[in-house]
Structure 1
């Protein structure tokens, strides 16, 4: 029989046989559909967000190009260059304290000052409707628009007055929608919008003040992205030392885009875990299906059908069923962006048209098909090599020998392709490799755990009690469910344990340990001419009950490493934050008290040579820097190149004053700058903190005070939202595990029927059989839970202590919850699957033995 004829005949038989329905394939369908939907949906939403940002880039950015300067205005020459590119809108941003008119209370605000050209794109929606004239000074007060949260914090209403700096502002409306909010990043306080004239009158802008000035350009209609890039290049060429950071409409919200990509990568890997876990269900379903077709297979072989024809018939059936499962998954994946548009409306821009994302859906199809091949080829290969006589005699298809080379080699190639594609399409391939290595390790270890469990059960010997004896025997007998149950639940529970422990440790650090070690206040924008008076006030208020630490602070942007432009350097993802935008920098005569040298030596207190810099050791390693290398930073429009003199170990989690770069004092001689200070009061209560806050704000209205507890509350909320999303994603893997568990139990039903009938014939009661099954499932669940606790705990410990470098604690409540989930799943689904077995009549079964 020729190959073409064999394929055609196999396809015809497969189509005829599958008309009988999908019985035995429901778990197969559910596993494939779930994994396809997870991978396709996550990537479709990611592409939708990315396309939305690209389509609305000008609105998000507030212009076609954004030039940003810190601590200074553009020079007349620089501004003339910007004006030559198109219409210019000027804004300035800073943090400050807004006080009640009677100064009895205050709140941190994100101040944004705009001119009459704002917004160049989109609409600044307020209630009542925005008009720039509403920001003008009337009746002794400038106008301001605020977010409703600000009114709630200070119990204010539209029309009331507040003090910012040395000026009075009347609240003339509330902010409904700010078109360029995403490009400004996440704020830790409510927004307060005023005019640029109002900001100048406030007294907040002093030499060295931390004010971010933004110049947004609207270019003529029809300007292409290539023209936008050329305009940025020409501005940089005309002013090489300007030190501004630039963004175009094609890169309107890089932080958001990066976070979306990373989160999508994580969820894709979780979806892949669910798909691979479901692959075990595919293998079980295929094995059970082929087992149920043993008489048909035997008949084919007795009539002279070659083994390859039999394999092709059932491979085609498996692919047809797989295509149906993939189809259901793709439908769910196509619905995901629609649901995301409804849920994220007004938060993240998404395309208004189109729901099909072929790349995302194609990737999901490819992953799903490869998964089917990985887990279906081995059972098919075993079925192909079993003789017809063996099929008539044996109860199942279980064999110990490997199938023919072509089958296991095909499965191996498919597995390697699956892993290779997962790594290739990842944003951070290193993380993808670690993740897949962890999954592979879990598969190997779970297999070892199941073999060890079976070996222990085999060596237990005779135990008292019939139910326990039967349960122990079922764990190690040929064709036992032990490998499938341990593997199915193990992966899902391990992932859940790891994520739960990471979340728990992060929360305890943020809400507990970090809060206890962190200072109570950060004071920003302390001018050099008042820093001594400020220190005297604070120290007199706290007496001996607190510690004030103050350091000079400037803003600078790294523009070159070893004289190479940072935009041309390939930087690992974990170090990109150092080079993104402006960084806080300082200078010091002596080594900061919360740092330790790991390499090199500190400069002398009276050092006056070439500029030197101390670099954080971890970040230097990530950037490939060492002692003797050079770093070029732009500060106040001037490029300064310094040589790395030493490396420091920095405890970022302490929230103390820490900097990536600390320069020798002579580097910034004469440069205007402000000061940053922290106040630590271990025993202070809320009343004491409020008194300090009020005293500082009233005496130094230009100083911005950040209460650390308030900032941590914001971080806690963000972490909580992220944790909820991660748990929801991880639950997909647990659902896949439960489906696989159900499939494994279903696959073993025929053997269970045989055992139950024989035992009942020998006098066993239903109560005895139920007790035996419950004991068996409970033992399997407990063993799996112990593994999940160990493996998940190790993974969480590694991530928290080694990658995040945070203290680690084990949470016993998570351990208890894991054991409960494992027992409920195994015992509950086990009984649900075997209840029908207990009602089988003996005669029909005994006649077919």
Structure 2
């Protein structure tokens, strides 16, 4: 064995021994397999679902957009030249989207609707599904004075009407001819705050809703004459070159729903990081399993050494074994991960685009396999390094390797390299690398802190005063004795509980804001599309119905940022946190004075009678994310005209108040003479629900073209969305917690050998089974409490940072979360610990005493 053999022969010999020794089965590695399989399955499943939806979006691009290409204009229609350009490209369908109020004919009730008006060519791709199913021409046909309309089932439910009933929309009468079950381009148009109402363009003209400054979007959807010649990638550049100041947004069928795709990618990254947490937690279980396995092979290792086997051969042999077992666990995880999309698609169908056929996504599986294999090796190498420390004398007496000593430096270096590879893979595959880096830093910090917590618990137990209870005294001794379970239990349970506390506190704080303090601070109503001629009457009506309310009104325009300092925004590398400002149109306004809910952070405000070059005030936080400074210029396109203004100051904006706030506020002279409407809010914390309903009804009847948004209704919709997202978040947290349970079980199983010796000796000296159970119960309870306290503290800090610093919302500690965490920690540690210890207590004394 010690002869000079070639590396190939040396590895071949190690592989042969490794495979031969594995014939006895995988006993002792079930926790290992479960940990690797669980983490791998979570990452494979999440990424497979994400890729399935993304591939469905790409494959259904034409239907999702209802066109090959769409030109969208805000607050204006296309000019004759622009329309001629569209007609040259292909068949054109025009639709208009806006929010409005639909009310019953007698004015007794009303509801906010997402109104969509379409022409006879709609849809160019896909189908509109209705009940009953008839042609759109029939459904939209005018009968007498009323126009046909399609309504979402939710609208019928809210107003208590059915197909065949009439509604008032603006100044027109409409008749519900069918329920709208599905429109092909709904997902490409973004999230709606109200149910859909679809009418014809002729009906829209009759409503009188589209007036000067109305917030309306006109979409020109085109089915290209020859898509092969008019390549989608070149249309955007050609159109911008032909009409540089059009201010339209161009979307093609190969990017039909970018907001949806980005949100899916972001959520997928979040769940992937949670899955990686489960995998890293499982890595602790891998380390425990390998350590216990090597400990059980002391006699075999000593025999090999007595026969002259070099330490490298022994390490290679067990490394091959661990790698093969890891591959088995990864394979199990990949199979489960590949099945997850099949189940998920059944629940997502009808909500998101899903593939028409079942598919396997190799890239997602390869990524999960990479994470699984690297994690297994990263956590297995250090315990494997101890195998070479087992002396040959272990063959003749019960003696293992010294666990407190670090292995040789090559093993430490190898573990470091694999951990670096794991971090690199997580960062390189992340949508937002900053978040990935923060996550990895947090995990590393948690490992260090948990080690310190374990050291602190051990130190406190070592210095604890002597107690009279033998069981309690034995429990305290077990916590600090050599080879104690304290580090393993604290580490394995701490990570899972910390993640659970963090996610639960974030979820709880968001729900509290949406259902409690946020509605109390937020305005009662937002009013949109107020014409200047209606302002006085609008104020008088609100004061009559809500005399104690406060009215805030501001001029409202829509504009899209097209350049900073003359440079096209598409050429700037913008961090993910600031990209939302540049995506689509932004609400903008002008003001003589600093707006409410804002304070100057830097620079000076312009005089009330200012008449110089256009100036703009920018939100300080967003400006920092975009890399802007005082004196920079911002170019916005408003109503088809590019306007350039210089940044005069930055403002701190209280977005969380839900009051009227803008990223950009311009000097009044910037938009002198520009047509626009007004936006207003009504704030009355003491108003009753009946008072709000009366005000809304009176306003809708008196000013049918003004759109009213009741903030509480909007928050309820957001709350429902949060409930749906919370299901996925809790499921991901549950995966990490299950991994913690597995690791905890593995850690306790690994310590059962020492516990068996202790129990036998103590029973021989007269200890009863009841005393031992009490002692072990006290020990597990104290470890569980210590871990729960850490999880409460660290999870609370992490949740506070996310809610307070990232979401900029009030954050508070929730006592019910504390109680739940403590209960879970105690149930897990005491329950799992005693379940594993019960078998130990029944061990016969003679076989154990002979080995001592």
Q: State the TM bucket, normalised to the shorter chain.
A: over 0.9
Match of 2:217 in 1: 212
> Are the counterparts in 2 of residues 757 and 845 from structure 1 also a CA contact under 8 Å?
yes
Match of 1:164 in 2: 169
- Return the match for 1:820 from 808, 823, 840: 823
For residue 142 of structure 2, give the secondary structure of its aligned residue in structure 1.
coil
Deviation (angstroms), 1:396: 4.1
Match of 2:183 in 1: 178
1:193 maps to 2:206: no
1:627 maps to 2:634: no
Deviation (angstroms), 1:462: 2.1
Match of 1:411 in 2: 415
Residues 220 and 354 (structure 1), Cα distance of their counterparts in 2 relative to 1, 3 Å cut = farther
For structure 2, the residue ranges without an aligned partner over 5 or more in a row are none
> Are the counterparts in 2 of residues 294 and 392 from structure 1 also a CA contact under 8 Å?
no
Deviations 1:648-686 (A, max 9, x none): 111011011101111111111111110001001111111
- Return the match for 1:336 from 340, 344, 358: 340
Separation (CA, whole Å) in 2 of partners of 1:397 and 1:355: 49
1:718 maps to 2:744: no
Separation (CA, whole Å) in 2 of partners of 1:558 and 1:38: 40
Instruction: Give the 5 Å matches for 1:288-303.
Output: 288-303=292-307
Task: Out of 386-395 and 610-619, give the one that drifted further.
Answer: 386-395
1:469 maps to 2:478: no
- Return the match for 1:744 from 741, 747, 755: 747
Deviation (angstroms), 1:2: 2.5
Separation (CA, whole Å) in 2 of partners of 1:127 and 1:419: 53
Deviation (angstroms), 1:720: 1.9
Deviation (angstroms), 1:541: 2.3
Deviation (angstroms), 1:766: 0.5
Separation (CA, whole Å) in 1 of partners of 2:536 and 2:669: 21
Instruction: Give the 5 Å matches for 1:105-124.
Output: 105-124=109-128
Give the TM-score, by structure 2 length: 0.98
**Which 4+ residue blocks in structure 1 deviate beyond 3 angstroms?**
390-398
Separation (CA, whole Å) in 2 of partners of 1:615 and 1:421: 37
Match of 2:505 in 1: 501
- Return the match for 1:149 from 114, 132, 154: 154
Instruction: Give the 5 Å matches for 1:446-457.
Output: 446-457=450-461
Give the TM-score, by structure 1 length: 0.99
Match of 2:495 in 1: 491
Deviation (angstroms), 1:55: 0.8
For residue 529 of structure 1, give the secondary structure of its aligned residue in structure 2.
helix
Match of 2:141 in 1: 136
Deviation (angstroms), 1:809: 0.8
> Are the counterparts in 1 of residues 398 and 851 from structure 2 also a CA contact under 8 Å?
no
Deviation (angstroms), 1:539: 1.6
> Are the counterparts in 1 of residues 546 and 687 from structure 2 also a CA contact under 8 Å?
no
Q: CA RMSD in A?
A: 1.1
Deviations 1:343-387 (A, max 9, x none): 211222222235221111111111111111111111111111221
Residues 391 and 514 (structure 1), Cα distance of their counterparts in 2 relative to 1, 3 Å cut = farther
Separation (CA, whole Å) in 2 of partners of 1:800 and 1:419: 26
Separation (CA, whole Å) in 2 of partners of 1:467 and 1:97: 72
Match of 1:568 in 2: 571
> Are the counterparts in 1 of residues 302 and 390 from structure 2 also a CA contact under 8 Å?
no
For residue 108 of structure 1, give the secondary structure of its aligned residue in structure 2.
strand
Instruction: Give the 5 Å matches for 1:655-694.
Output: 655-694=658-697
Deviation (angstroms), 1:227: 0.6
- Return the match for 1:585 from 568, 574, 588: 588
Separation (CA, whole Å) in 1 of partners of 2:203 and 2:23: 77
Deviation (angstroms), 1:509: 1.6
Deviation (angstroms), 1:130: 3.6
For residue 393 of structure 1, give the secondary structure of its aligned residue in structure 2.
coil
For residue 246 of structure 1, give the secondary structure of its aligned residue in structure 2.
strand
> Are the counterparts in 2 of residues 616 and 647 from structure 1 also a CA contact under 8 Å?
yes
For residue 402 of structure 1, give the secondary structure of its aligned residue in structure 2.
coil
Residues 436 and 617 (structure 1), Cα distance of their counterparts in 2 relative to 1, 3 Å cut = same
Match of 2:551 in 1: 548
- Return the match for 1:372 from 373, 376, 384: 376
Separation (CA, whole Å) in 2 of partners of 1:793 and 1:195: 53
Separation (CA, whole Å) in 1 of partners of 2:228 and 2:775: 76
For structure 1, the residue ranges without an aligned partner over 5 or more in a row are none
For residue 816 of structure 2, give the secondary structure of its aligned residue in structure 1.
helix
Separation (CA, whole Å) in 2 of partners of 1:762 and 1:158: 85
> Are the counterparts in 2 of residues 485 and 744 from structure 1 also a CA contact under 8 Å?
yes
Instruction: Give the 5 Å matches for 1:246-261.
Output: 246-261=250-265
> Are the counterparts in 1 of residues 299 and 394 from structure 2 also a CA contact under 8 Å?
no
Separation (CA, whole Å) in 2 of partners of 1:464 and 1:456: 18
Match of 2:57 in 1: 53
Deviation (angstroms), 1:440: 0.2
For residue 111 of structure 1, give the secondary structure of its aligned residue in structure 2.
strand
> Are the counterparts in 2 of residues 208 and 672 from structure 1 also a CA contact under 8 Å?
yes
Separation (CA, whole Å) in 1 of partners of 2:298 and 2:286: 18
Match of 1:838 in 2: 841
Number of residue pairs aligned between Structure 1 and Structure 2: 847
Match of 2:761 in 1: 758
Separation (CA, whole Å) in 2 of partners of 1:231 and 1:482: 64
Task: Out of 19-28 and 800-809, give the one that drifted further.
Answer: 800-809
